[in-house]
Amino acid sequence: MYKHDVLIIGAGLAGLRAAVEATRLGLDVAVISKVHPVRSHSNAAQGGINAPLTDRGDDWEGHALDTIKGSDYLADQDAVEIMSSEAGDAVIELERMGVIFSRGEDGRLGTRRFGGQLVARTFFVGAITGSAILHVLYEQALKHGLNVYEEWFVTDLIIEDGRCVGVVALDIKTGTLHSIWAKTVIMAAGGAGRVFEPSTNAIICTGDGLALAWRAGVPMMDMEMVQYHPTTLARTGILLSEAARGEGAHLLNSEGDRFMLKYAPQYEELASRDVVSRSEQTEINEGRGIDGNVLLDLRHLGREFIEDRLGYLQEVAVEFLGIDLAEQPVPVRPGVHYIMGGIKTDVDGATVVPGLYAAGECANVSVHGANRLGANSLLDTVVFGRRSAVHAAEYIKSVDAGSGSDEHLNATKARIQSLMDREPNENWAAVRNYMANEMTKGIGVFRDQASMEGAKAAIRNVNERMPNIAIQNKGKVFNTDLIFSLEMEFMADVGNAIVHSALTRKESRGAHFRTDITERDDENWLKHTLAYHDPDNEDGVRVETSPVTITKWEPVKRVY
Amino acid sequence: MNSKLKVSRFDPETMGSGQRRWDEFEMDLHPSATVLDALIQIREEVDGTLALRCACRASICGSCGMRVNGEAKLVCKTRIADVTEEGTTIVIEPMGNHGIIKDLVVSLDPFFDKVRQVDPYLQPDEEPEQGEFVVNNDSMENLLTAMNCIMCGACVSDCTVLEVDEAFIGPAALAKAWRFVEDPRDDQRDERLKELNEVEGGIWDCTRCFKCVEVCPKDVAPMDRIMEMRDMAIEAGNRNTSGYRHTESFSKSVKKHGRLDEARLAVESAGYTNIPRLIDLAEIGVKSVLKGKMPPIVPHKADENEKITRIFERVESERNT
Ligand SMILES: Cc1cc2nc3c(=O)[nH]c(=O)nc-3n(C[C@H](O)[C@H](O)[C@H](O)COP(=O)(O)OP(=O)(O)OC[C@H]3O[C@@H](n4cnc5c(N)ncnc54)[C@H](O)[C@@H]3O)c2cc1C
Ligand code: SF4
Ligand code: SF4
Ligand code: FES
- The pLDDT tens digits of the residues spanning A232-272 come to 998 788 999 999 999 999 999 999 999 999 999 999 999 99
**Segments forming the whole domain that contains residue B177:** 109-235
**What pLDDT is attached to residue B111?**
97
Partners of B30 on chain A (C-beta within 8 Å) are 235
Instruction: Name every residue whose Cβ is closer than 8 Å to that of residue A213 and which is 6 or more positions away in sequence.
Output: A157, A187, A220, A343, A351, A353, A356, A358, A362
B84 and B146: one domain?
Answer: no
Q: Does residue A394 carry a pLDDT above 60?
A: yes
pLDDT in tens, A302-333: 999 999 889 989 988 998 888 999 999 999 99
CA dihedral (A33, B47, A439, A464) positive or negative? negative
Q: How confident is the model at residue B292 (pLDDT cuts 50, 70, 90)?
A: low
Q: Which residues share a beta bridge with B105?
A: B102
Contact present, A34 and A204 (Cβ < 8 Å): yes
User: Are residues A41 and B183, on separate chains, in Cβ contact within 8 Å?
Assistant: no
Which of A39, A107, A315 lies nearest to residue B134, judging by beta carbons? A107
Partners of A140 on chain B (C-beta within 8 Å) are 121
At which of A490, A506, A522 does a domain end? A522
Which of B30, B47, B140 lies nearest to residue A100, judging by beta carbons? B140
Is A180 part of the contact surface with chain B (CB cutoff 8 Å)? no
pLDDT in tens, A452-488: 999 999 999 999 999 999 999 999 999 999 999 999 9
pLDDT in tens, A362-393: 999 999 999 999 999 999 999 999 999 999 99
Residue B154: which CATH number?
1.10.1060.10
For residue A31, give Cα distances in angstroms to A14, A23, A461.
11, 11, 36
Give the chain A residue nearest B146 (alpha carbons): A132
Distance B19 CA to ligand 3 centre (A): 28
Name which residue leads in pLDDT, B158 or B296.
Answer: B158
Distance B153 CA to ligand 3 centre (A): 6
Which of B43, B59, B131 lies nearest to residue A55, judging by beta carbons? B131
At which of B235, B262, B277 does a domain end? B235
B199 CB near ligand 4 (under 6 Å): no
Residue B4 host element (H or E):
strand B2-9
**Segments forming the whole domain that contains residue A469:** 407-522
Name which residue leads in pLDDT, A359 or B293.
Answer: A359
Mean pLDDT value of segment A170-178: 98
B173 and B86: one domain?
Answer: no
B199 and B248: one domain?
Answer: no
Q: Which residues line ligand 3 (CB under 6 A)?
A: B 149-155, 171-172, 175, 216-218, 220, 222
Range with the poorest average pLDDT among A60-64, A159-163, A406-410, B25-29 = B25-29
In a domain, A173, yes or no: no
pLDDT in tens, B214-233: 999 999 999 999 999 999 99
Taking the CA of residue B182 and the nearest CA in chain A, the distance in Å comes to 12
Q: pTM of the prediction?
A: 0.93
- Measured between alpha carbons, how far is B53 from A478 in angstroms, rounded to an integer? 10
pLDDT in tens, B164-201: 999 999 999 999 999 999 999 999 999 999 999 999 99
| Overall number of domains in chain B | 3
- Measured between alpha carbons, how far is A315 from B56 in angstroms, rounded to an integer? 15
Contact present, B25 and B42 (Cβ < 8 Å): yes
- Measured between alpha carbons, how far is A224 from A514 in angstroms, rounded to an integer? 11
Q: Does residue A499 carry a pLDDT above 80?
A: yes
In a domain, A302, yes or no: yes
B29 and B118: one domain?
Answer: no
B204 and B285: one domain?
Answer: no
Partners of A204 on chain B (C-beta within 8 Å) are 55
Instruction: Name every residue whose Cβ is closer than 8 Å to that of residue A287 and which is 6 or more positions away in sequence.
Output: none
Q: Does residue B297 carry a pLDDT above 60?
A: no
Partners of B52 on chain A (C-beta within 8 Å) are 480
Q: How many CB atoms lie within 10 A of CB A422?
A: 14
Give the chain B residue nearest A478 (alpha carbons): B51
Contact present, B132 and A92 (Cβ < 8 Å): yes
Is B30 part of the contact surface with chain A (CB cutoff 8 Å)? yes
A12 CB near ligand 1 (under 6 Å): yes
At which of B106, B133, B152 does a domain end? B106
Partners of A322 on chain B (C-beta within 8 Å) are 32
For residue A41, which ligand has an atom nearest its CA? Answer: 1
Angle at A462 between CA A460 and CA A463, to 5 degrees: 65
Name which residue leads in pLDDT, B84 or B49.
Answer: B49
Question: What is the separation, in whole angstroms, between the first and last Cα of chain A?
Answer: 56
Range with the poorest average pLDDT among A110-119, A530-539, B12-21, B111-120 = A110-119
**What pLDDT is attached to residue B293?**
62
- Measured between alpha carbons, how far is B304 from B293 in angstroms, rounded to an integer? 25
For residue A170, which ligand has an atom nearest its CA? Answer: 1
Q: How confident is the model at residue B7 (pLDDT cuts 50, 70, 90)?
A: very high
Residue A240: which CATH number?
3.90.700.10
- Measured between alpha carbons, how far is A385 from A338 in angstroms, rounded to an integer? 18
In a domain, A273, yes or no: yes
B28 and B117: one domain?
Answer: no
User: Are residues A239 and B58, on separate chains, in Cβ contact within 8 Å?
Assistant: yes
Give the chain A residue nearest B186 (alpha carbons): A98
Residue B44: which CATH number?
3.10.20.30
A414 and A499: one domain?
Answer: yes
Q: Is A75 left (phi over 0), alpha (psi -120 to 50) or beta?
A: beta
Instruction: Name every residue whose Cβ is closer than 8 Å to that of residue A542 and which is 6 or more positions away in sequence.
Output: A531, A532, A534
Is B81 part of the contact surface with chain A (CB cutoff 8 Å)? no
| Overall number of domains in chain A | 2
Which of B160, B229, B230 has most ligand 2 atoms within 8 Å of CB, for mutation?
Answer: B160
**Residue from A164, A213, A212 nearest A344 by CA:** A213
Instruction: Name every residue whose Cβ is closer than 8 Å to that of residue B74 and which is 6 or more positions away in sequence.
Output: B59, B62, B64, B65, B152, B154, B217
**What pLDDT is attached to residue A359?**
98
Nearest-atom index, ligand 2, CA of B210: 1
B54 CB near ligand 4 (under 6 Å): yes
**Bridge pairing between strands A176-187 and A356-358:** parallel
Residue A462: which CATH number?
1.20.58.100
**What pLDDT is attached to residue A355?**
98
At which of A317, A334, A351 does a domain end? A334
In a domain, A277, yes or no: yes
Q: How confident is the model at residue B274 (pLDDT cuts 50, 70, 90)?
A: low
For residue B155, which ligand has an atom nearest its CA? Answer: 3
**What pLDDT is attached to residue B318?**
66
B57 and B81: one domain?
Answer: yes
**What pLDDT is attached to residue A424?**
73
Contact present, A353 and A186 (Cβ < 8 Å): no
Q: How confident is the model at residue B282 (pLDDT cuts 50, 70, 90)?
A: low
Q: Does residue B272 carry a pLDDT above 70?
A: no
Q: How many CB atoms lie within 10 A of CB A552?
A: 10
Q: Does residue B269 carry a pLDDT above 70?
A: no
Which of A100, A203, A480 lies nearest to residue B147, judging by beta carbons? A100
In a domain, A205, yes or no: no
A420 and A518: one domain?
Answer: yes
Q: Whose CA is nearest to atom 12 of ligand 1?
A: A377
Partners of A104 on chain B (C-beta within 8 Å) are 137
Contact present, B98 and B113 (Cβ < 8 Å): no
When computed from its CA atoms, the radius of gyration of chain B, rounded to whole angstroms, is 24
In a domain, A472, yes or no: yes
Contact present, A209 and A343 (Cβ < 8 Å): yes
174-193 of B, contacting A, C-beta below 8 A:
183, 185
B230 and B246: one domain?
Answer: no
Is B49 part of the contact surface with chain A (CB cutoff 8 Å)? yes
0.90 surpassed by complex ipTM = yes
Contact present, A507 and B82 (Cβ < 8 Å): no
CA dihedral (A513, A213, B55, A432) positive or negative? negative
Range with the poorest average pLDDT among A223-237, A376-390, B105-119 = A223-237
Q: Does residue B320 carry a pLDDT above 80?
A: no
Q: How confident is the model at residue B160 (pLDDT cuts 50, 70, 90)?
A: very high
Residue spans of alpha helices (H) in B3-160: 35-41, 80-83, 109-117, 137-147, 154-158
- Measured between alpha carbons, how far is B169 from B199 in angstroms, rounded to an integer? 9
Longest Cα–Cα distance in chain A: 68
Taking the CA of residue B138 and the nearest CA in chain A, the distance in Å comes to 9
What residues of A are labeled active site?
Answer: 273
- Measured between alpha carbons, how far is A519 from A447 in angstroms, rounded to an integer? 13
Q: Does residue B62 carry a pLDDT above 60?
A: yes
At which of B106, B135, B162 does a domain end? B106
